[in-house]
A and B are shown apart, each in its own frame.
Chain A
Amino acid sequence: MLKLLVQRLALGVATLLAVSVLIFWVTELLPGDLASNILGQSATPENIAAIRAELGLDRPAVERYTEWLGDAVQGDLGKSLANKRPVIDVIGPRLVNTLFLAIYAAVIAVPLSVLLGILAAIYRNSVFDKGVNIASLAAISMPEFFIGYFLILFMSVQLKWFPAIATIKPEQGFFQHLYVTFLPMLTLILVVIAHMMRMTRTSVLSVMSSPYVEMAVLKGIPKGRIVVHHALPNALAPIINVIAINLAYLIVGVVVVEAVFTFNGLGRLMVDAVAKRDIPVVQACGLIFAIVFIGLNLIADVLSILSNPRLRHPR
């Protein structure tokens, strides 16, 4: 058991290291550099050379990689090339915003979709099952920006219930933050719910067709109890994995929703940084996203092992 955990952790670190090389290499490949992108069309060869020398972009790539990785391990992500602020200061508030929105959406979406999935499994082929399926599939089929604009059009421009701009300001309180980010949260829920709900339903149903459940039915145990006590624990592993993927999506994949609602999260920061070739910020964002993805998958792995006696006690 412990061996398995250590193994997974080591694999995770190795993956992270490989990703760090990839991030660095890919950012090197980007055409053009900060010097010319900061100045855009108004760059002359002289001021490009001046900026490039100042930023140390003229040094060899390997040297810069080892230096960057060494600093990053110690928690120093360097300074933004564009405005000289420490990358931590640039990323910190954005990361908090992103996590806030992701947790806000997850806290509602995860229980809701698991519940809906279980109910759909219990009342399989009923009107409720079909209705939930159709609604969630419809929501996932529409692109995020469409759902976002749709919600803005009705709920903020016409009904004026919620603001169209989800910019979190430090002077606002917690509940105001919840109010301001309601529409992006709703959009995200609509996007992620179908995936988790349908996986819950499918895996519960597949366990429901196994012999021991049949046995339980023959014993006369009520259906709800069978699903929750007998089927669900054995169906958990795939559900946990799907939840992990969706949580990762809520953190790293919401750049379109951020743009639609002018929400200032990590995604737009990274896009901005890529456009301006602010490489330290791009690399730090890439690293954070990689950690989130690998970390959540690691946790999901561990949890599915814990939830499954056969994996917990391998022969």
Chain B
Amino acid sequence: MNQWDELQQAARSGRVSRREFMRRAAALGVATSLASGVLAKAGYAQTPVKGGTLRVGIAGGSTTDSLDITTYTDTVMINVSTSIWDGLVEVDDKNQIQPELLETLEPNADATEWVCNVRKGVTFSNGKTLDADDIVYSLNLHRGEGSKSGAAGPMKPIKDVVKMSGNQVKIVLEAPDADLPYVLSDYHVLVVPNGFTDWANPVGTGGYKLEAFEPGVRAVLSNRGGYWKEGRCNLDAVEFSVINDDAARMQALMAGEVDVSHRVVVSLIDQINAAGSYEIVQAAAGYHFNLPMLVDKAPYTNNDVRLALKYAINRQKVVELMFGKYARVGNDHPIPESDPFHNNELPQREYDPEKAAFHARKAGLGVSDVILSASDAAFNGAIDMSVLFQATAAAAGINVTVRREPGDGFWDNVWLKAPFMTSYWGGRPAATQMLATAYQSTAPWNDTHWNDAGFDKLLADAKATTDQAKRKTYIWEMQRMLHEEGGAIIPLFKDWLDVHDSKVKGHTPHGMFDLCNGRIAQKAWIEA
């Protein structure tokens, strides 16, 4: 493939911006008119067309799904909910905060109190006008004693939500957090009218209304017209069909029964490309696989053991064999390259059997010491990766026993309990959020039991300051600590892989989550 072909391919899959594309096309000596033609075909800078029905073949649904926003855990409900409701803020595809139902969020000097202006002139589907009471009520759904919300953890630092006036609320925090807007972008945090409890009959400010909903089967939405966001919600109707089986989902696409799908099986990409009428949407993301070791359980209390295992995994090989071009090598810290605070000066940890053997000898690691609890419940391919790891570790003289755990009850019985296991983390929009969720000593989901006063201090400092240069120093230092001493082996970051029929536009890569960060119904439109 020459550079021009490669660039066109990048434009089609949305990996380059319009400006970047034109600059590189000019550098390659391509005529401007030709380049614009390619862009138009790739769906850039086109005005969305109204109308049409989008059929989405989607995984991540279950008959146990409910419309109650506090219960969401997976893609189907996330995508359905953003059609009916709006959030407080939206994270855009550049990982920047964009206002949604909160127009502005102004912190005080130490970022402990945030004054937020509620967007005016937005109405719910029952005719009620949005006001501060709705915001307070909606935030409180995830707060307080005995909250069952999936967002109860992230919302915990919020001490109080106060109504200031009809269109203003104040959010008071336990401790400073300059990244509060990112915390508020959690997919559970959606705005319902004050006092709303009838989840079966949703009332929201979103662009669509629910026509039919069968949990784990399908959801049908129709446009309710006059959506407040410019250029969004262009479809007449959206039909989500739940297809959890990977092969069935891809076949439904190829048989022309759905227009958009996601979680593309890597081994089928060549076949999909060969068909010619589909486009893969690839997004580099913070979604990563990890092998957490509990640093307070022997033998992992010894950093030499942790280093030995970190050097004993062949990341390149794992990525190459299991995911081809669709994953990126990790460096034992959870901040992806796409994050502005990614520490790019840390040397990439390579597979080094000699160093691994050296550290293992130094720690006096025995043959039966390392037991890796693995299950495909952690991520698809966890067992394969564990076996690959076992082989490369054996070459360094380290014996890793792979123990297959049942997928049923995995998160209940193994996670946070087994000293060494396979796991994953979905990306978080802000680096501080990722570090606080998984590595702060007090975090309930600290899956390496990482407990370092210096680290906690750096994290608190990074959250407390709005000075970007200082934040960078702190966040870089935390990445270095995790890279050198942390309990997690982070071999790779996995790209999101969506696919659509070429007639679908506006379905562009988003690093947070697949299907436009769960806003496919808002963003996608169909070429007439």
Contact = CB atoms under 8 A, between A and B. Distances in A.
B151 to A, nearest CB: 9
A31 B411 contact: no
A274 B65 CA distance: 14
B257 A163 contact: yes
B252 A165 contact: yes
B406 interface: yes
A51 B65 CA distance: 15
A32 B413 contact: yes
B63 interface: yes
B146 A272 contact: no
Q: Which of A42, A43, A152, A169 has the most CB of B within 10 A?
A: A42
Given A157-B251, A167-B241, A264-B217, A36 B412 contact: yes
Interface string A28-48: 001111001111111111110
Q: Which of A47, A51, A83 has the most CB of B within 10 A?
A: A83
Given A47-B152, A50-B148, A262-B241, A83 B64 contact: yes
Interface in A240-257: none
Nearest to B242: A262
A32 B73 contact: no
Given A44-B152, A50-B146, A262-B241, A37 B412 contact: yes
B518 to A, nearest CB: 15
B413 A156 contact: no
A39 B71 CA distance: 7
A82 B66 contact: yes
**Could you tell me the dominant secondary structure of chain B's interface residues?**
loop
A165 B64 contact: no
B426 to A, nearest CB: 9
Interface string A153-170: 100110010011101010
A161 to B, nearest CB: 10
B73 A51 contact: no
Contacts of A157: 251, 254-255
A278 interface: yes
A259 interface: yes
B409 A30 contact: yes
A77 B444 CA distance: 36
A262 B243 contact: yes
A32 B412 contact: yes
Contact of B409 (A31, A50, A54, A93): A31
A24 interface: no
Interface footprint category on A: 35 or more
Contact of A273 (B63, B150, B242): B63
Interface in B406-421: 406, 408-409, 411-413, 415
B411 A83 contact: no
Nearest to B150: A42
Contacts of A90: 63, 215
A30 B406 CA distance: 11
A262 B248 contact: yes
Contacts of A82: 62-66, 71
B408 A47 contact: no
Contacts of B150: 39, 42, 47
A272 B216 contact: yes
B73 A164 contact: no
Contacts of A201: none
B73 A40 contact: yes
Contacts of A33: 412
Interface string B60-89: 001111101001010000000000000000
Interface of A: 30-33, 36-47, 50-51, 54, 80-84, 90, 93, 149, 152-153, 156-157, 160, 163-165, 167, 169, 259-262, 264, 268-269, 272-276, 278, 281
Given A32-B411, A82-B62, 11 more contacts: A44-B153, A45-B444, A47-B146, A51-B148, A82-B66, A90-B215, A149-B247, A149-B251, A167-B241, A260-B248, A275-B62
16 contacts: A31-B412, A44-B444, A46-B147, A47-B146, A83-B215, A157-B255, A163-B255, A164-B255, A165-B57, A260-B247, A262-B241, A262-B243, A264-B214, A268-B63, A278-B63, A278-B64
Listed from nearest, the 10 A-B pairs whose CB atoms lie closest are A82-B64, A32-B409, A32-B412, A31-B409, A83-B66, A164-B255, A276-B64, A50-B146, A272-B63, A36-B412
